[in-house]
Amino acid sequence: MLLLLAVVLAIPLGLDLYMPAPEANPITPQKIEQGRRLFHDRRLSRDKSISCASCHDPERAFSDGKPVSVGVFGRKGNRNVPAIINRGYGQAFFWDGHIPTLEEQVLQPIQNPKEMDLTLAEASARVGLAPNEIANALASYVRSILSGESPYDRFVNGDRDALTTEQQLGLQIFRGKGNCTTCHVGPTFTDERLHNTGVAWRAGRLANKGAGRGDFKTPTLREVARTAPYMHDGSLATLKDVVNFYSDGGRPNPNIDTDVRRLNLTDDEKAQLIAFLQALSGSIQEGL
């Protein structure tokens, strides 16, 4: 059961005043701080070479700048590391949305052989905490990682000079011709749903099935200018590549979403849209 808990967090402009948290794991300052320590603790990896922060770098909006994750012993993962900002508002986790709660999600990288490669029993012994304590602390810390106070936030809250003319034109494209709000909605700029845009369709087949039909979860656009490369496989290096991909109608395949269609954006419109996306970067806070 989820409760809307009032917590001692400075909530960024544009987000709700309350952070959702499970009844069984209420947010406390002690758990947030314990989770922060665990997030940076390399003992949670097999060879003690990496921590959660190795892939979720605070300097990169809690992403890592690589096409796919790199775990212990240099093992490469299958998917791009998502930014974990504002994930306390999330409803599904991982690119295929197969995990429903943060408490479950935070334990998965520890156990993944391509990431940290420990059993929960081993992790528990190393840090002296039960698995549920590790999960509750890490989830509480992740809930404290927030992004807001961007130029866009200031603009929609009344500062009409917060966005440049080019960015305002880009906002119009985002809401109109670009059809971006079909998936990137609300203050977190994600509908938390799964979509097939054709990214995984290669040479007449699915290179990655995602949730089953080449569908992947909509990522947040908060801080998107800082989280390249893009898509579940890190195959698009720049925002320009992403905008071109959608302007061209994605990559046609038997299961592509009906909302993904050719947009035929002009070069000026593409530049305006990119300028707006850059305006979604603001302040990032973590902890208390």
pTM of the model: 0.93
C-alpha 133/C-alpha 28 separation (Å) is 13
What pLDDT is recorded for position 268?
Answer: 98
What pLDDT does residue 8 have?
37
The Cα 75–Cα 273 span in angstroms is 36
Compute the distance between CA of residue 272 and CA of residue 167 in angstroms, rounded to an integer: 6
- pLDDT of res. 6: 35
The number of beta carbons lying within 10 Å of the beta carbon of residue 187 is: 17
- Detail the DSSP E strand segments found in 143-241: 146-148, 194-195, 201-202, 205-206, 216-217
H/E element, 12:
none
Q: Nearest CA to 163 among 12, 268, 273, 265?
A: 273
Predicted local distance difference test score (pLDDT) of residue 19? 87
Question: pLDDT (tens digit, 0 to 9) for every residue of the chain, 288 residues total?
Answer: 333 333 434 445 555 447 889 999 999 999 999 999 999 999 999 999 999 999 999 999 999 999 999 999 999 999 999 999 999 999 999 999 999 999 999 999 999 999 999 999 999 999 999 999 999 999 999 999 999 999 999 999 999 999 999 999 999 999 999 999 999 999 999 999 999 999 999 999 999 999 999 999 999 999 999 999 999 999 999 999 999 999 999 999 999 999 999 999 999 999 999 999 999 999 999 987
DSSP-derived 3-state class of residue 70: strand
270 SS3 class: helix
216-217 vs 201-202, strand pairing mode = unpaired
Task: Go through the domains of the chain in sequence order and give each one's CATH number.
Answer: 2-146 (1.10.760.10), 148-285 (1.10.760.10)
pLDDT at 288: 77
> What tokens were used for 238?
């720049």
CA within 13 Å, CB half, 197: 24
CA angle 147, 148, 153 (to 5 degrees): 155
Note whether 207 and 78 are within 8 A (CB): no
User: Could you tell me which residues are beta bridge partners of residue 95?
Assistant: none
